[in-house]
A and B are shown apart, each in its own frame.
Chain A
Amino acid sequence: MSIDQFIENFTELFDETDPDTINATTQFKDLEEWSSLLALSVIAMIDEEYDVEFRGEDIRSSNTVEDLFKIVQSRAE
């Protein structure tokens, strides 16, 4: 499981945000496009791509894209 692939999967969820502006240290909740629907999409993407159960609380406790990735990594077998 690579963080680059994770960033790509994460970035694909956005429509308006320039993909080049999203990297491991991006504070994703500060992105203008961030919304509650995008949060649900992140949860669904993680379920689909990594078969990992992610919760709203995990989004809440994460600040950067890398924070999200670390949680996914810790739960993947």
Chain B
Amino acid sequence: MEYNPFSLSGKTILVTGASSGIGRETAIACSRMGARLVITARNQERLQTTLDQLNPEVDGHMQLIADMTVQQDIERLVGEMPKLDGAVLCAGNSMTVPLQFGTREKLDSMFNINFFAPVELLRLMYKKKVLVKGASVVLIASIGGTHSFMPGNGVYGASKAALNSVMRYAAREYATRNVRVNSICPGMVNTPLIHDGTITEEQLAEDAKRYPLGRYGEPTDVANTAIYLLSDASSWMTGHDLVLDGGFSL
């Protein structure tokens, strides 16, 4: 048998935010490593596009439509899930706004999707024992808020810093069931999220030059890191926020 400590063969993995960007790429990559995927997002059409790209050699991939900002949707989602060996919580949004314009309304909207939603999903998946013993949870955080403090990123960064904090507490508490919880803290990754127009393409290209490895990340960079954290190769790793930024925060 081929030696591959990163194999996800035989594992069932949930990916949220799977209709685009990092979530979509992670779902596809995990299926190629042999996992059966449970993918979720709000938009049926876009999610179907991801489902169509999952590795057909693995049986039983499923998609569940849910809006992570709606409590009933999260509860229904957890009720419909099969037992999970892993989960990658990618659903999130970004916001570029100077702090003096970061109103309570903006903070609420950012924390709802980036913090409250994944925290509630994680809580219920653990409480309802959807996560099996030995399962691995990967939260997609950011270098923003913990390792990098770029002007205009405060509202977003604060939501991701809060997520990183819960990640560590969950790692401690869930270790009793041998459930591991880690996060990935990417720098700027080429997804629709950063190409939303707030910052011009010109500025983004200029900013990418500030990365020691000379480029922004690609969704596949994050997907491959998620594979490591989901696989048995990382079975002694928990409570870690893995910086993935081409050397930017050095």
Which residues of chain A have a CB within 8 Å of any CB of chain B?
36-37, 40-41, 43-45, 47-48, 55-57, 59-60
Number of A-B residue pairs at CB separation under 8 A: 38
* A45 CA / B98 CA spacing, docked (Å): 10
Complex partner residue of A37 from B103, B152, B198, B203, CB under 8 angstroms = B152
Confirm or deny: B197 has a beta carbon within 8 angstroms of a beta carbon on chain A.
yes
The 9 A-B pairs at the shortest CB distance, nearest first, are namely A44-B101, A56-B200, A55-B197, A37-B151, A40-B152, A56-B199, A41-B98, A44-B97, A60-B200
Confirm or deny: B176 has a beta carbon within 8 angstroms of a beta carbon on chain A.
no
Complex contact A48–B101 (CB within 8 A): yes
CB contacts (< 8 Å) of A45 on chain B: these are 101
CB contacts (< 8 Å) of A43 on chain B: these are 97, 198
Complex contact A37–B197 (CB within 8 A): no
Complex contact B151–A40 (CB within 8 A): yes
CB contacts (< 8 Å) of B199 on chain A: these are 56
Confirm or deny: B96 has a beta carbon within 8 angstroms of a beta carbon on chain A.
yes
Additional A-B contacts beyond A44-B98, A55-B197, A55-B200 (7; CB < 8 A): A37-B152, A40-B198, A41-B98, A41-B101, A44-B100, A47-B101, A59-B200
* A45 CA / B101 CA spacing, docked (Å): 7
Q: Specify the chain A residue showing the minimal Cβ separation from B97.
A: A44
- B:197-229 near A, CB below 8 Å: 197-200, 202-203
Complex contact B151–A56 (CB within 8 A): no
* A56 CA / B97 CA spacing, docked (Å): 12
CB contacts (< 8 Å) of B200 on chain A: these are 55-57, 59-60
CB contacts (< 8 Å) of B98 on chain A: these are 37, 40-41, 44
Complex partner residue of B203 from A44, A47, A48, A56, CB under 8 angstroms = A56
CB contacts (< 8 Å) of B100 on chain A: these are 41, 44
What are 13 of the A-B contact pairs (CB < 8 Å)? A36-B151, A36-B152, A36-B203, A40-B96, A40-B152, A41-B100, A41-B101, A43-B198, A44-B97, A55-B197, A57-B197, A60-B200, A60-B202
